Structure 1
Amino acid sequence: MIQKLYDWIDERIDVAPIWRDIADHEVPEHVNPAYHFSAFVYCFGGLTFFVVVIQVLSGMFLTMYYVPDIENAWKSVYYLQSQVAHGQIVRGMHHWGASVVIVMLLLHTMRVFFQGAYKKPRELNWMVGVLIFFVMLGLGFTGYLLPWDNKAYFATQVGLDIANQVPFIGPELKTLLAGDPKIVGAQTLTRFFAIHVFFLPGALFALLAVHFILIRRQGIAGPL
């Protein structure tokens, strides 16, 4: 059945060359754990992407139940965890995955830095990777408020106060994020939801596409 479906698609859009280009791509020996134990450090990038995929899929599930307003945000999260089948598991995966992905990104960035993989000709990919890191931090910050509990509320207030201290544009940046420059309220929640679900994921997907294209064009950096 799967083969018939593949043949049907291949007959119409000729996916065989694309699949062969992906599947037949040779991986350098120094990134194969079967040859070098140190090759495990090259797995950090792939593991990070795996966690990102989990975050995207679990986040899509959560948005089917989440209500982004101050009256029902916490209630919808509580309903998801207590009434929806496996809801507590999926929300737990998303909650802990937000921390795991930052740790994996940090490990991947450290590997690239200490092995000098950011040097010529990979400077552009290094800059793209740094932007991905900041986008993920933004996703973590904006997602923290969404449960709308006491910890999320006051933590976001601290984060907005930090944003207010940015030179020259601090007050404008805080107003842009919070909606209301004085309080964390309904506008803040809806803005954080929009940024978390639409704006930052769009930027993340675009940056990941550039990141993977550059890796494919330039290859994986050699060992020390």
Structure 2
Amino acid sequence: MFKSMYNWIDERLDITPMWRDVADHEVPEHVNPAHHFSAFVYCFGGLTFFITVIQILSGMFLTMYYVPDIINAYASVDYLQHKVAFGVIVRGMHHWGASLVIVMMFLHTLRVFFTGSYKAPREMNWVVGVLIFFVMLGLGFTGYLLPWDNKAYFATQVGIKIAASAPYIGDYIKTFLQGGEIVGAQTLTRFFALHVFFFPGILLALLAGHFFMIRKQGISGPL
């Protein structure tokens, strides 16, 4: 059935050359762990992307039950955790994945830096990668408040105060994030919108550019 469906689509869109161009792309020898043990350091980027996909899929599942208001936010998370089938597993994957993706991205950034992969002609991709890093940090910060428990509430207060201490623009950042005089309903709504809509949209656009440049320029050589 799948083969006939694929053939039906391929007759109309000619998709075989597109995925063949990706699937048949030769991987350089220095990133093949079968030939070089040090090639494992080149896996951090792929692992980061894999965890990011898990974060997106698990996050889509969580939004089916989460209620972004201060009255029902904690109760909806508690319901997901204890009443929904596999809810505790999916939320655990999303919770721990949020930390693990930062670790993997940090290791990937170190690999790029110490192997000199940020140099010409890959300077633009380095900049895009750094922007992806900041977007990931933003996703982690905004997602931390969403359970609306005591730890999330006071940790977010601390984070906003740190942002407010930035010279010249600190007050504007505080107003933008907090949405009012205190961390409250407007803050939760803004963090939810940033976490679910704005940051993921920016992330997908940056990832598209990141992979396009990798495909165009190839994987960097060894140190």
TM-score where L is the length of structure 2: 0.99
What are the Cα deviations for residues 123-157 of structure 1, in whole angstroms up to 9, with x where unaligned? Answer: 00000000000000000000000000000000000
Alignment length, in residue pairs?
A: 223
Percent pairwise identity = 76
TM-score of the superposition, structure 1-length normalised?
Answer: 0.99
* Deviation of the 1:167 alpha carbon: 1.1
Greater shift in the superposed pair: 88-97 or 3-12: 3-12
Shift of 1:190: 0.3
1:100-133 alpha-carbon deviations (Å, 9 max, x no partner):
0000000000000000000000000000000000
Residue 204 of structure 1 is matched in structure 2 by 203
**Superposed, which structure 2 residues align to 1:60-75 within 5 Å?**
60-75=60-75
Post-superposition offset of 1:52 = 0.1
Shift of 1:166: 1.1
Structure-1 residue corresponding to 2:80: 80
Q: Which residue of the partner structure matches residue 142 of structure 2?
A: 142
Distance in 1, matches of 2:221 and 2:30, equals 7
Deviations 1:28-71 (A, max 9, x none): 00000010000000000000000000000000000000000000
1:94-133 to 2 correspondence within 5 Å? 94-133=94-133
Q: Which amino acid aligns with 1:4?
A: S
Write out the 4+ residue segments of structure 1 that deviate beyond 6 Å after TM superposition: none
* Structure 2 residues without counterparts, runs of 5 or longer: none
Matches within 5 A, 1:1-224: 1-180=1-180, 182-224=181-223
* 3-state SS of 1:92 partner: helix
Report the AA paired with residue 41 of structure 1: V
Quote the offset at 1:2 in angstroms. Answer: 1.6
What is the root-mean-square deviation in Å for CA atoms of aligned residues?
A: 0.5
Q: Which amino acid aligns with 1:219?
A: G
State the one-letter code of the partner of 1:184.
V
